[in-house]
Amino acid sequence: MPTPAQADALAELLATRTPIVVVESHDERRITALVALLAQRGKREVWQWSASRGLRVAHNLRLALTEMNSGGPAADAASTRELPAALAAVEQLKGDALVLLLDIHPYLSNPVVTRALKELALHTESRGLQLVFTGHDIHLPGELAPYASRFMLEPMTLGRIKTLFSEELQARRLRSGDDLAGERATLDSLMRHMVGLPEAAVRQMVRSTLGDGRICTADLARVLASKRDVMGAAELLVFEQNLPAMDQVAGMKALKRWLLLRREAFLDGAASGLPPPRGVLLLGVQGAGKSLAAKAVAASWQVPLFRMDFGALFDKFQGESERKLREALRVADAMQPCVLWMDEVEKGLSGGSGDGDTGSGQRMLGTLLTWMAERRSSVFLVATANDIERLPPELMRKGRFDEIFFVDLPDAATRAAIFAIHLGRHGIAALASELAALAAASVGFAGAEIEAAVLAARYEARALGQSAAVDHVRAELARTRPLSVTRAEAIDTLRAWARDRTVSAD
């Protein structure tokens, strides 16, 4: 049910006599209930149009009977299923009428419909009419924009979700007599991530969660995936699962400490009294662990991780790439609290010279920078980059990120720790002295190259009919030429640039 505050807010907007009110939402039930409440308050006639049922009186039964008996617009609702015919009928309405047009968004590209709506908008005040547009994705044509105001439907708050959850839990107890099992922290996190969804979607998720009577982390993953799908842009934001713990990231002591100090402020800024952190840029050598660190941030903060898929963002039609980016960022805001990971951000945003892409990269960069500056949601941005020459300078300006960390090739101690992690994962036993020897034999190797060497050693051992051992790993290292050798000049340039411009992650 709509809250009194929402009804008051919409009533104030309607009191300005704006010809068109746009309510963009999936939650049609709440919109119609809100309009019905206002009709009861103000004694207004409320008409409702849909493509399936035509133009009908939604409220005020006496008026409906009068219209039907007099052969007015309501006499044959079927004849007004086509929107132009419905708008012609709306022109005949008399009195202070509010006309609710459901799912109107597909029709706004029709020039005949646009003109008819503009003519209504030009004469709404003299006729006592106001139009309410509803739909999930309403793009007003320029002809109608001057006559329209937008109204944001209040999203489901945490308090309302708790009330709904209690109602559904009580109904389940009455049906089965069973109580709910599971961890309270998981339940709290689950309800927190339902915030912002339409009420119908929340109720469906709650019922699905209560189905087996037990709350677990699998329920949380399912809710997050469903929420992303409900909000749209599922193909643009990839929900990353099976995240590594922070202790699976070797080295990067300075980055880990920085994140630890800001964890509480991000998860509960009100309690900490500090502004929440907004994001970091991880710049460094390929394969040095930037992506692993991005994943571990979400795991250590116990929030979901969404990866921006730049490949899915780009579109051949002008303006579509920016629209998709705005949509993806809107969904990221709705998924709060979360970590948003933009991998190899320079590849997604550097193509803005106007050669071949009509400046799409620059426009996308502008969209991203505006979001970074204006967002108020609990979305922690982790951007990773390898190539400083392709990184847009606007993104590097002070204040875009809380900090810019440089992730260098691992030192000997970090390499030994990386070997310990991957050897243990592959069941290869190693003494401390052997780990030190492997670290000495892998100077210039990135973490990803060390992981690849351990895996290659297992393949080699299997081919020889032997159990994988440290000697196989050492032999594989001797056969490998790391990136620090094959691209030594590029890496030296990157290190020199980062020396006085970034903070070391180690």
Structural domain including 454 reads 412-486
pLDDT digits (tens, 9 = 90+) for 392-410: 888 887 778 999 999 999 9
> Which bin fits 461, alpha (ψ -120 to 50), beta or left (φ > 0)?
alpha
Which of 184-198, 241-255, 449-463 ranks highest by mean pLDDT? Answer: 449-463
Between residues 157 and 169, the one the model is more confident about = 169
Specify the DSSP element, H or E, that contains 98: strand 97-101
**Does residue 240 fall inside a structural domain?**
no
Distances (CA, A) of 301 to 246, 279, 296, 369, 384: 10, 13, 8, 25, 19
Higher-confidence position of 354 and 427: 427
CATH code for the domain of 11? 3.40.50.300
Pair (169, 296) in one structural domain: no
Shared domain check, 435 and 361: no
Any domain includes 339: yes
CB-based contact 320:139 (threshold 8 Å): no
Total of domains in the chain: 4
CB 484 within 8 A of CB 444: yes
In a domain, 237, yes or no: no
Whether residue 49 contacts residue 86, with contact meaning beta carbons closer than 8 Å, is answered with yes
Q: How far apart are CA 231 and CA 137, in angstroms?
A: 11
210 and 252 assigned to the same domain: no
397 and 467 within one domain: no
Assess if residue 344 is contained within a domain.
yes
Work out the average pLDDT over 366-371.
Answer: 89
- To the nearest whole number, what is the mean pLDDT of the chain? 84
For residues 128-140, average pLDDT: 88
In 279-346, at which residue ranges do the beta strands (DSSP E only) sit?
A: 279-284, 305-308, 338-342
pLDDT at 67 over 80: no
- Does residue 351 fall inside a structural domain? yes
- The answer to whether residues 100 and 23 belong to one domain is yes
Q: What pLDDT is recorded for position 194?
A: 80
Q: Tell me how far apart the alpha carbons of residues 431 and 444 are, in angstroms, rounded to a whole number.
A: 22
224 and 311 in a common domain: no
pLDDT of 451 strictly over 50: yes
Q: Which residues contact 383 (CB under 8 A, 6 or more apart)?
A: 279, 280, 281, 282, 341, 342, 345, 395, 401
Q: Are residues 251 and 225 in the same domain?
A: no
- Domain end position, chosen among 390, 407, 424: 407
pLDDT at 350 over 90: no
Same domain, 218 and 307: no
Considering the domain boundaries, does residue 399 fall inside one?
Answer: yes
Residues 205 and 350 placed together within one structural domain of the fold = no
Residue 1's pLDDT is: 60
Q: Does any domain span residue 258? A: yes
* In a domain? residue 241: no
Residue ending a domain, choose from 230, 259, 288: 230
pLDDT digits (tens, 9 = 90+) for 186-241: 788 788 778 767 777 788 888 888 877 788 777 877 777 777 676 665 667 888 88
Share of the chain above pLDDT 70, in %: 91
Residues 52 and 178 in one domain: no
Is 368 in the same domain as 428? no
Last residue of a domain, one of 352, 378, 407: 407
Q: Are residues 426 and 384 in the same domain?
A: no
Give φ, ψ of 215 to 5 degrees: -95, 125
- The DSSP 8-state label assigned to residue 100 in this structure reads E
- Cβ–Cβ < 8 Å for 288, 282: no
Instruction: Judge whether residue 76 has pLDDT over 70.
Output: no
pLDDT at position 402? 93
Pairing of strands 338-342, 379-385: parallel
% of the chain exceeding 90 in pLDDT = 40
